[in-house]
Every structure is written in C-alpha cells, then in structure tokens.
Amino acid sequence: MQLMRDRLKRIFPSVSDAHAGLLMQRGLAHWEENEKSIKADLVNKIASVTPSELYLLAFNRWLDATHEEGNNTFASVAARLDGRLFTGLSLGGTLETGATTHHTYGMPLLAGSSIKGAVRSYTEHLFAERNEDGMLQFEQSDNTNKIIIQEQKRQILDVLFGTDSDDDSQGDAGYLIWHDAWWIPMVNDQGSLLIGDKYKPFVGDIVTVHHPKYYSRELNAALDMENPVPNQQIAIQGAFYFVIEGDPKWVHFARELLKDTIENVGLGSKGSSGYGYFTLDESLNNDIAKRYGKGMSIGTDDPLAVIRQEIKYLDENQLIDSLSKAKNAFFKKLNLDKDNDDDVKKVVQVVLDEHLDVVNSWEKESAKNTKKAYKLIKDNKS
C-alpha cells in the first residue's frame, strides 16, 4: 500500500537535518503487511537526524530570553537524561510510534503542561498525610493543627499549579508559567555544533510485548506461553533545558520540586522500566550559563569581563586542571600568554574574585595538580 506521493519520495533519502516530527507522521512511503524492515528503515532515518544550525540559533535565543541571570523572574535548570526517554509515543501517525517534537524545528520537546502535571503529582505525594506505619492517608483529619497544615499545603499547591473548578466557573491556572523544556544542542568551545551519534536527539529502541493476547483481551490471563512481539520505537537521548517563570521566591521553590521530580520519578512513559529519569549535572548547568553569557554583550566597564566569563562557571576540578595540567590550552583559549606575567596576574585576579573560598581550601592539599594550581595563584597575587 503506497502512503506517499511519488514526487515526495525523491526528497526523503537525504534526512541528516530533516524535521523529525514530519518524518514520524508522513515519512512512511509504503506499507506491506508483515514487512517490518520498512518501519525499521524509517526509524533508522529518524535516528540519524542531527540538530540544525537554525535550531541552535533558536535555542540560543530562547536561552538568552529565559536564563535567570538576566531576569530573576525565571528559574532554569539543565538536566541530562540517565539513559533514554519515551514521550509522545502515540504521535507517530502511520508509523505507530512517535515522540513529542517542536512544531517548527522538529527537535524533542517536553510540554510544559506535562512537566507541570508530573511535578504536581510528586508534590501532592510529598504533602500527603501518613499514618504511624508511614502509609499514605488522604482523608481529612479532625485535629485542628493538622487541618491548618493541610490548608496551607493546599494553598501552596494552588499557587504552584492552580485549582480545578468545582462549579461552572473556570479554574485557576496558578501563578507560575511552566514553559516547555527544550532539548539542548551540544556545542564545542567555539559554539559550533558537536557531531556524532551521542549528540543526536533520537535513537532507535525496542519495546517487547510479552503478552499480546492478554493485552488485546483475547486471553483472560497473562500466560508465559505467548510469543513475545518486539516493537521498534523512537526514544530520546541527551539533555533538556527547563524553565519556570513567575515570582522569584516561588519559581526557585518550584525549581527544587522540579529537580526532585525528574531525579526520583522521571518524566514520560515506561518509568517502571527505567526510562525518563534525569541526572543533575553541575558542569552542564555551568556550560549553559557560559553560553548565556556569550550571547549577551559584555560590559566595557570591566576590563577582565571576557576572562571572567570563562572562569566564573568552572567547577573545582575544571579550575584545578585549567591552572595545572591544562594551563597551556586554557591560556590559549583566553587569547593570553601563559609566560607573560601580566596575563597570568589577570587570570589569578579573576580566579580569586570568583573562587576565593575554593582556592583557600587548597592550601593543605597534597594532590599534585592542586598544589601546582595553588602555587600559581600564590606566586602571582597582586
């Protein structure tokens, strides 16, 4: 059975930066019963899609508009998937498997409404009363103090997530905006897209149905005698940039709940099989902050602004390496001369401005590279 016009077939072989959402919905050229290789070919094509320069520009624009360093009404967090993610499996059209993608750019997207719902569910679980055995109990208490606490919890939920309507009036959407989470295109130090399979957003996956007749209600019980049926799916890998907007005090509180949710509960489908869990990576958040800074105009009132932008977001291990074994590459990256005393003093001054407590903790360290980094700073203090 032909599913695509002949003229469209000509343009589909080249898909390195195609719109993945369109490929999932319209990319199946034809279909024959029991010809699974056709679907496999399309899944492989989707898995080969790479982020485009246009998407990188769009992501950087979104980052510049929403990063919290530019506006305290935003709270953001970048988190890396611990494995893979399934989201929007039912959006595949004729392919019968899909993923939620940005309508314009075709890159993976986590809908803000889904994020909001997941965090609300997690928060309600945290707020639920427990009996002496630690079991959840949702019935109302007659204790006055408990009633007050329950009302306070309800008010917090209303602010963060809104309320449902109990009558004909409309409900309240809450006082925070839970924005869609964008997939993060990874870049090198020069801001160019990184190339390679691990930097692509989509990956082919297999989900095996072990009891198809039971799920289709042909059998009343799940029997181990059934033949398992492997199904090809499209999963997502990489990292996402989450943004919450609203009152500064509330968005930072909401961000902590978001972090706990994506780490402990996860997002998307098949969480019980280990999909959809995230890890919080400080270095990734620092990289995102640096990318935000590079998109901003650096003020002329600080002669060390360019150096400061590179050093400010280094974690301790990166800082030690930059001042010891990787010193040559680090100074070259800053367009400075490691053998020029004035250039070295500039770097040391910024390190002390941004990481004084960390540097002070190195005084009695015995690790080789830490001692080298500390000596460099000690010998070049202004």
The pLDDT tens digits of the residues spanning 83-120 come to 999 988 666 555 666 788 999 999 999 999 999 999 99
**DSSP three-state, residue 165:** coil
CB 60 within 8 A of CB 127: no
Could you tell me the pLDDT band of residue 137, with boundaries at 50, 70 and 90?
low
DSSP class of residue 271 equals: G
- In order of 63, 307, 350, 382, the CA distances from 345 in angstroms are 32, 12, 9, 7
How many CB atoms are located within 10 Å of the residue 255 CB? 19
Tell me the sheet residues that pair with 85. Answer: 236
Interacting residues of 190 by C-beta distance below 8 A, sequence separation 6+: none
CA distance linking residue 301 with residue 69, whole number of Å: 18
CA distance linking residue 201 with residue 204, whole number of Å: 11
Q: Following DSSP, what letter does each residue of 73-107 receive, concatenated?
A: TEEEEEEEESS-BB--GGG-GGGS----B-TTT--
Has residue 295 got a pLDDT over 70? no
* Average pLDDT over every residue of 256-266: 96
Q: Which of 313, 322, 331 shows the shortest CA–CA distance to 372? A: 322
How high is the pLDDT of residue 3?
56
323-376 pLDDT, tens digit per residue, is: 999 999 999 988 999 999 999 999 999 999 989 999 999 998 989 999 999 999
14-61 pLDDT, tens digit per residue, is: 555 678 888 877 767 656 666 667 778 888 888 999 999 999 999 999
> What are the structural domain ranges in the chain?
51-114+179-283, 297-379
* Average pLDDT over every residue of 127-142: 58
Tell me the sheet residues that pair with 77. Answer: 242
How high is the pLDDT of residue 71?
86
CA distance linking residue 52 with residue 72, whole number of Å: 30
How high is the pLDDT of residue 360?
93
How many CB atoms are located within 10 Å of the residue 167 CB? 6
* Average pLDDT over every residue of 127-156: 67
Rounded to two decimals, what is the model's pTM? 0.76
